[in-house]
């Protein structure tokens, strides 16, 4: 039985995964860490068992793997804890900074780490196909626009940043422009 701990346990993604896990016998929701929106004595029912939310990260001890969709401000705490306890890590938290990625790499030297700012197969397939697509539009301006539900916590999203970084990796000469009026091009009306 794989014991799974959750960071950001009250968030949408964690709830979706927990709901899916109820259909599988080989997985156990083992721990729920939530210090962002913590309420004393709050719990979920998982396979006829009460599992309480906890604001103490030590609740994750004993987990075989931790799944994280928390706030980026919690990364240093989470990564330090996982490094010290040698716990595998799946991270879907966005807006990580360079030191967070450096720490993920160090953690990855010790345990299995999987990171993606978007867990959607479709988005990741699109990013994979982006290189071929961009070759067709090398001499064109590209515009990235994103739209989200009203509960979206970060903007720009990690998905948009991942797409932008892929474009910059493939075409470093392309410049980011946040207002097309700043281009000072003549316009046909």
Q: What's the per-residue H, E or C state across the chain?
A: CEEEEEECCCCHHHHHHHHHHCCCCCEEEEEEECCCCCCCCCEEEECCEEEEEECCHHHHCCCCEEEECCCHHHHHHHHHHHHHHCCEEEECCCCCCHHHHHHHHHHHHHCCEEECCCCCHHHHHHHHHHHHHHHHCCCCCCCCCCCCCCCCCCCCCHHHHHHHHHHHHHCCCCCCCCCHHHHCCCCCC
Q: Of 49, 152, 153, 168, which one is the catalytic site residue? A: 152
Known catalytic membership, residue 106: no
Known catalytic membership, residue 152: yes
The residues that are catalytic are 148, 152
């Amino acid at each position: 039985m794989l014991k799974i701990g959750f960071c950001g346990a009250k968030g949408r993604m964690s709830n979706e995964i927990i709901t899916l896990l109820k259909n599988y016998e080989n997985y156990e929701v083992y721990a729920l860490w939530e210090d962002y929106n913590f309420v004393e004595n709050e719990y979920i029912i998982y396979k006829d068992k009460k599992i309480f939310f906890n604001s103490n990260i030590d609740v994750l001890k004993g987990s075989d793997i931790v799944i994280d969709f928390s706030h980026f401000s919690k990364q240093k705490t989470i990564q330090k804890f996982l490094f010290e306890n040698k716990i595998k890590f799946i991270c879907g938290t966005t807006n990580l900074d360079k030191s967070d990625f450096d720490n993920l790499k160090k953690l990855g030297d010790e345990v299995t780490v999987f990171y993606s700012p978007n867990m959607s197969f479709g988005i990741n397939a699109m990013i994979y196909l982006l290189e071929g697509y961009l070759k067709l539009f090398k001499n064109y301006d590209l515009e990235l626009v994103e739209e989200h539900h009203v509960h979206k916590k970060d903007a720009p999203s990690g998905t948009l940043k991942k797409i932008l970084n892929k474009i910059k990796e493939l075409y470093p000469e392309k410049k980011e422009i946040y207002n097309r009026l700043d281009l000072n091009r003549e316009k046909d009306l």
